[in-house]
Amino acid sequence: MKSFSARLYASYTEADLLQALRTDDEGAFEEVYKRYCFRLFTVAYRKLKQREEAEELVQDLLADLWSRRATMQIQQLDQYLFSAIRYRIINYIKSQKLKSGYEFYCQLHNSVSTDNTENALAINDLSAALMAGVENLPEKSRQIFELSRLEHCTVPEISVRVNLSEKSVEYHLTKSLKLLRSYLRDFLMLTLSFVAFLK
């Protein structure tokens, strides 16, 4: 019986699958998973070169598809999934760059003796410059960014907490990362100058 069901779903068009998903059809979701999981993983892995992260992005995307099955406005499933995975890859790369810059700052902070007043002042200036990047974000964007990066909330969780759609939450996160990259560029330039000075 199960093999018959699998053959039935395998014959579904994208439109059929989308319609079935909207009616909570788990068999249709399994078929979407079978059709697209490996292809989406391949796209993510080629960009990231990291198996675990690529798998996680794909799993999150497909879980999000299932959680929003009743309200999703998708015309073409194939186009939606591959656009969505590229979007998630870009956001992941952006967040990793921001994280790397912050980790570099922390390493620098820990490696410099704060007994030296001049060094301590320089570190405080750098710290203030970094924090200004977060503080200067628009209020809603800052709130969403902090929930995402500091409290490690997922987009659906943030959506509920701030009473915005998931798409709006993703927009704010993208905007925050773009603004912070600008602040971070200035911060890294200051840091590199500071390191050169110490040498």
| Confidence class for position 146, pLDDT limits 50, 70, 90 | confident
Average pLDDT value for residue range 122-151? 73
Distance CA 87, CA 138 (A): 22
Across the chain, mean pLDDT equals: 78
Distance between CA atoms of 80 and 128, rounded to whole angstroms? 41
What's the average model confidence in pLDDT over 53-57?
A: 92
Q: Say yes or no: domain 1-88 is CATH 1.10.1740.
A: yes
pTM of the model: 0.53
The arithmetic mean of pLDDT across residues 2-11, rounded, is 73
Confidence at 138, pLDDT banded by 50, 70, 90? confident
CATH class name, domain 112-199: mainly alpha
N- to C-terminal Cα separation, the chain: 73
Q: Indicate if the pLDDT at residue 1 is higher than 50.
A: no
Tell me: the pLDDT tens digits for 63-75? 999 998 888 888 8
Quick check: 139 pLDDT over 90? no
For 19, the token pair is 């319609």
Contact residues for 98 (Cβ-Cβ < 8 A; gap 6+): 177, 180, 181, 184
Least confident of 82-86, 135-139, 142-146, 180-184: 180-184
**3-state SS of the chain?**
CHHHHHHHHHCCCHHHHHHHHHCCCHHHHHHHHHHHHHHHHHHHHHHHCCHHHHHHHHHHHHHHHHHCCCCCCCCCHHHHHHHHHHHHHHHHHHHHHHHHHHHHHHHHHHHCCCCCHHHHHHHHHHHHHHHHHHHCCCHHHHHHHHHHHCCCCCHHHHHHHHCCCHHHHHHHHHHHHHHHHHHHHHHHHHHHHHHHHHC
Fold agreement (1-88, 112-199): no
- Mean pLDDT of the region 54-66: 92
- Quote the pLDDT of residue 114: 46
Q: Is the pLDDT of residue 162 over 80?
A: yes
- Distance (Å, whole) CA 56 – CA 58: 5
Listed by start position, the domains of the chain span 1-88, 112-199
What mean pLDDT do residues 85-105 have? 74
